[in-house]
Structure 1
């Protein structure tokens, strides 16, 4: 190349750009006594000097060196901890709306299980009654007719409870309340049968209807009513004194609206006139009181229907279902004091309870006089329409509060 020698007859200056000025072959002395020395690196002003190299003691410098003479590679640092689980958007699990939706669904499922399980547990403890008489009975009829009996049985009540509730004789087995409830295509109809109604009791002659229960039990009572009304009893429900008290207290009390001040010694009732909240003991006394009124038994059946309607409203209120304590207490009161017919299942019992809250026509069996003697003609017309499920044709003169004609 021009200006650069190839070392054969050229000038030594040709390699000065490699070895520096001067020649190593002695042709021209070098001005640098150590031409191959390392030129120190000049640090820039203000730069931080590097740390001095770490040197191990001679004994440890080559410890653990593999036979190949190579030093082992330094240990890898531990992997960093995994970050908390996050969704595609980088948010935590509890910040996802889907997590809260699943939680709400789980709570709803558990709540539904609770609502269904509690009545089923209570139902398995309920006593069943063989209520169907063996004698001839009316043929099957459209709709469903329930017989509701309020027994004055004191079974399950302690002497202290009988005294507090003014229930009297522990051996009494009469039916203070007798109601026929019919549901079908027409309006749901509830008919009260006064307990002192004189009827023919098969095998015992003519007597008060409530004595049939004591003489022959539930089958004889059903037979007496079917014979007198022409209705076929499809389902049977019985409630004792304590049952009413337990149910009313379980729903937090009910409202009654007496039209006058009532002070009845026999039942223990002492209430003022007008609407008021009462507990179970007062509700029981109200449904039993009669001697304060000149129409005694007729006044009592009206009070009984009022209590039943008030209980039904409370039982089916949203709070009775949403409040787990009330739901548990309400169902827990059923096995101790309620009895159902042996053909009644939990579904039929539920339908009865629902029907009791939706009564559209409520009356007393047609009566000829205040002594509870039936008006046979009007009674046959009323029960004939119920038997044929034509309750929409029941007129006001057939269905009155006291049973007496207007």
Structure 2
């Protein structure tokens, strides 16, 4: 029995691993020879260097999975088919994925606030335009020969008229106005000086102050209003004070009551008993809230020990309380008070032709802060034929008093209080 030669891997190529039903690549030929016969040179060459006759062996999986350039007959298979299986989990099962939560929309407070402020601004602008066009106007600051030039600071002349215009008989009875008196008179005359810096000065000008009236000789100050209305009153005040009046405002009886009732009354500390049937009031000392008719009687009454002096002090006290409440948040931010207040001011107020609603707003702002309240220096009272009992000023002190205001300077203590 012949002995088989040892196994030579070069003589037996690995079996083909092609796809199902497809022939593998060409295998090198197997050279068979007899036992004991040495291989020839050609056989050795063919067996040792097969790459000279055919392409090298490649992994059929790679050949079938990745298409080769220029090869159209290679099958296209999914490479994932040859991927190794994922490792088996040994821990607890993973929780199911949570569904994505819907993002909660944040409220756009900034946008809402901006829209609200815009609406408020439009309402304020619209209300200011309406109020400015609805104001009654008079040519109070008419130019005339010898009028004082412009002085530093801002000077207002505020007039409280006892005119009954627009009041019904029932309203006249409720306000105790005393019926029709013909030509209007001034119950209150206030000079407001707003300096460039420092506190505002409010000066009460007595209605019975005996002064020269242009074209009419000497008489009480309020007689100038009866004789020539607002223009003659302004000319008289400018002549005796030397101040240039920049703005003018006048309010009647009905306006006082309407403005007080619109803001829910004013808080006033009454210094003494005031019982005056002519003014329609009966007040006791102490801090209390006054209604419109009560406040009107409080500023009109002269049934006190010092008559007009007490009356001027009460008027300054009332005006301070009125402006403090009218410009406060309880009124400014409350439309149920602010709207009636503006309506009452517009209906009862009369201003100069060159004045506007924003001028009145600046006046209110100047009067709500620190303020000096006083009256002119007086020397006493005297009976004068044709004028009755009149008030005389201290001419030397009054001259220094108004010179300081004309130069935008603060008053010293010895000139404050009518001394």
Matches within 5 A, 1:5-404: 90-91=102-103, 95-98=105-108, 100-133=109-142, 134-170=144-180, 171-185=182-196, 186-290=198-302, 292-370=303-381, 372-391=391-410, 394-400=411-417, 403=418
Q: Report the CA distance between 1:122 and its aligned residue.
A: 1.7
Q: Report the CA distance between 1:372 and its aligned residue.
A: 2.2
SS in 2 for 1:177: strand
SS in 1 for 2:275: strand
Q: Report the CA distance between 1:224 and its aligned residue.
A: 0.8
Contact 1:156 1:336 in 2 (8 A): no
**Structure 2 segments unaligned to the other structure (5+ residues):** 1-99, 382-389
Contact 1:157 1:242 in 2 (8 A): yes
Name the CA shift for 1:101/1:197 in 2 (closer, same or farther; >3 Å): same
Contact 1:260 1:273 in 2 (8 A): yes
Q: Report the CA distance between 1:89 and its aligned residue.
A: 7.0
Contact 2:190 2:205 in 1 (8 A): yes
Alpha-carbon distance in structure 2 between the residues aligned to 1:172 and 1:157? 15
Residue of structure 2 equivalent to 1:30:
none
Contact 1:153 1:174 in 2 (8 A): yes
Q: Deviations over 1:167-207 (max 9, x none)?
A: 12323400110010001223211100010111111111111
Moved more, 319-328 or 229-238: 319-328
Contact 2:274 2:304 in 1 (8 A): no
Contact 2:131 2:357 in 1 (8 A): no
Alpha-carbon distance in structure 2 between the residues aligned to 1:164 and 1:227? 38
Q: What is the count of residue pairs matched by the alignment?
A: 309
Name the CA shift for 1:239/1:89 in 2 (closer, same or farther; >3 Å): farther
Alpha-carbon distance in structure 1 between the residues aligned to 2:369 and 2:167? 31
Alpha-carbon distance in structure 1 between the residues aligned to 2:101 and 2:339? 45
Q: Deviations over 1:210-267 (max 9, x none)?
A: 0111101111111111111111111101111111111111111101111112111111
Alpha-carbon distance in structure 2 between the residues aligned to 1:398 and 1:166? 36
Contact 1:176 1:195 in 2 (8 A): yes
Q: Deviations over 1:87-138 (max 9, x none)?
A: x97246xx4222x432232222212322332232122111111012423200
Alpha-carbon distance in structure 2 between the residues aligned to 1:351 and 1:187? 14
Structure number having the greater strand percentage? 2
Moved more, 240-249 or 102-111: 102-111
Name the CA shift for 1:178/1:350 in 2 (closer, same or farther; >3 Å): same
Q: Deviations over 1:20-52 (max 9, x none)?
A: xxxxxxxxxxxxxxxxxxxxxxxxxxxxxxxxx
Instruction: Provide the alpha-carbon RMSD of the alignment.
Output: 1.6
Alpha-carbon distance in structure 2 between the residues aligned to 1:352 and 1:382? 22
In the superposition, the TM-score normalised over structure 2's length comes to 0.71
In the superposition, the TM-score normalised over structure 1's length comes to 0.73
SS in 2 for 1:294: coil
Contact 1:115 1:321 in 2 (8 A): no
Moved more, 350-359 or 334-343: 350-359
SS in 2 for 1:182: strand
Q: Report the CA distance between 1:335 and its aligned residue.
A: 1.7
